[in-house]
Amino acid sequence: MTRIIAGAAKGRRLEIPSQGTRPTSDKVRGAIFSRLLGWGAVEDAHVLDLFAGSGALALEALSRGAADAVAVEKSPAASAIVRKNAQSCGFQDVLTVATSDVTDYLKRARPTREGLDLVFIDPPYSCSEQEVSGVLEALLPHLHVDATIVLERDGRSPEPTIPPELTVLSGKRWGDTAAWYLGLAASEA
């Protein structure tokens, strides 16, 4: 069972797509948000959840005080579940769901004046490091100067290859899962 861990929608159960996704466990999601909250990266944030699956990361951010979120998911069935989860949590007015390939979405979307404050990237573990690096490249024009990116990968994965405009702030492993926290490099900020 996946649920919202804390905040306004605490305890709400989330529906999970029956196939094609790998939900972030409550334990890992809790640890990720503990760090993000310690950095002040969630409150009033403009959030982007790439490879959204059930939308759990975007919904958790909204529950904890993010201003708004966009969830990008290629599967129409999974996108419908994200919309259903947003409705059940009461976030349908602040969560936009885009049914699209992530790279296509990033290339089509216009960067906003505010920029994105918090980005979750949780691609399928089968996604190559080259593909992940391409997503990071495409994301760059959309970021606020103080943006935080959380990149979730297989726990056996090496540290990601990132564009020179980004820097690794921190990393953590939990069994089969690893997360890297990225930000704009000092020369870009």
pLDDT one-digit tens code per residue, 52-109: 999 999 999 999 999 999 999 999 999 999 999 999 999 999 999 999 999 999 999 9
Residue 33 lies in a domain: yes
- Domain count across the chain: 1
Q: Is residue 92 part of a domain?
A: yes
In this structure, is residue 189 part of a structural domain?
no
User: Is the residue at 10 inside a domain?
Assistant: yes
**What is residue 127's three-state secondary structure?**
coil
Going from the C-alpha of 132 to that of each of 22, 121, 129, 159, 189, the distances in angstroms are: 17, 9, 5, 12, 22
- Name every residue whose Cβ is closer than 8 Å to that of residue 68 and which is 6 or more positions away in sequence: 46, 47, 62, 94, 95, 96
Higher model confidence: residue 30 or residue 22?
30
Residue 189's pLDDT band (boundaries 50, 70, 90)?
very low
More confident residue, 189 or 5: 5
Full domain range(s) for residue 61: 2-17+25-184
Does 71 map to a domain? yes
Whichever domain contains 46, its CATH number is 3.40.50.150
Kindly state whether residue 101 falls inside one of the protein's structural domains.
yes
Average pLDDT over residues 138-153: 96
pLDDT of residue 160: 85
Please check whether residue 137 lies inside any domain of the structure: yes
pLDDT exceeds 90 at position 110: no
Question: For residue 41, is it within any domain?
Answer: yes
